[in-house]
Amino acid sequence: MRRLPEVFENNRAWVRARNAQDPTYFERQLKAQHPRYLWIGCADSRVSPTTIAGLEAGDMLIHRNMGNLVSTTDANSLSVIKYAVDVLQVEHIIVCGHERCAAVRAALGPSVWPPMEQWLAPLRAVNRDHHKELDRCEDYDERWTRLAELNVAAQVATIGLLPTLIFAWQRGQKVSLHGWLYELGTGLLRDLGVSRSGPDAKVLGD
């Protein structure tokens, strides 16, 4: 079996550089984590959260999957959100999609292989719910990006309805939700304007 020596060499070089810059860094890492942010992003190799946000290890709890989805039947994402809110008490939950996302493209096309097709169900639902708007897009690339944006907004809405968030807001905990899109061609993050710091009026019964 190949042992990927270059990765271990990189790791040792990183440890040397880190210790030279900050001799107590690893000692502090042992104690606890106090991230302010939970990042829910796509697994895409080009969208590395701490790198594009200019943050360090320990600053952000990170959950990634194909298409930055939060499904109410997915124990993985629900567990991360509950841990982030109830235990770590993060102040911000960010759902970040990106341009040219393979999961979004798959949801625009015919059925794919299992279990991917099952995983993509929430994305296909967003596609169906907004098909009139998406049909007005001028070309495929515009449709691809717009579905990525709509998907982020849908995931933010889903998170806002989770019992974890509803209970946190009821007890007065300060936690905000945000939806962003990462532009691969420029490296810039774009705020999609779907932030919220409390439950939907519908949840409150107004």
Residue 181 binds Zn ion (CB under 5 A): no
Residue 101 binds Zn ion (CB under 5 A): yes
Phi, psi of 106 (to 5 degrees): -60, -35
Region near Zn ion per CB under 5 A, out of 43-51, 134-142, 174-182, 188-196: 43-51
* Cβ proximity to Zn ion, 80 vs 85, nearer residue: 80
* Cβ proximity to Zn ion, 101 vs 192, nearer residue: 101
* Cβ proximity to Zn ion, 42 vs 70, nearer residue: 42
Segment 54-93, which members bind Zn ion (CB under 5 A)? none
* Cβ proximity to Zn ion, 99 vs 168, nearer residue: 99
Query: What residues are labeled active site?
Result: 42, 44, 46, 98, 101
The residue from 35, 40, 44, 63 that contacts Zn ion (CB under 5 A) is 44
d(CA 123, CA 117): 10
Shortest separation between residue 47's beta carbon and Zn ion, angstroms: 7
SS3 of the chain: CCCCHHHHHHHHHHHHHHHHHCCCHHHHHHHCCCCCEEEEEECCCCCCHHHHHCCCCCCEEEEEECCCCCCCCCHHHHHHHHHHHHHCCCCEEEEEEECCCHHHHHHHCCCCCCCHHHHCHHHHHHHHHCHHHHHCCCCHHHHHHHHHHHHHHHHHHHHHCCHHHHHHHHCCCCCEEEEEEECCCCCCEEECCCCECCCCHHHHCC
The residue from 38, 42, 81, 107 that contacts Zn ion (CB under 5 A) is 42
Shortest separation between residue 168's beta carbon and Zn ion, angstroms: 28
Shortest separation between residue 152's beta carbon and Zn ion, angstroms: 11
Shortest separation between residue 41's beta carbon and Zn ion, angstroms: 8
In the complex, which residues of this chain contact Zn ion (CB under 5 A)?
42, 44, 101
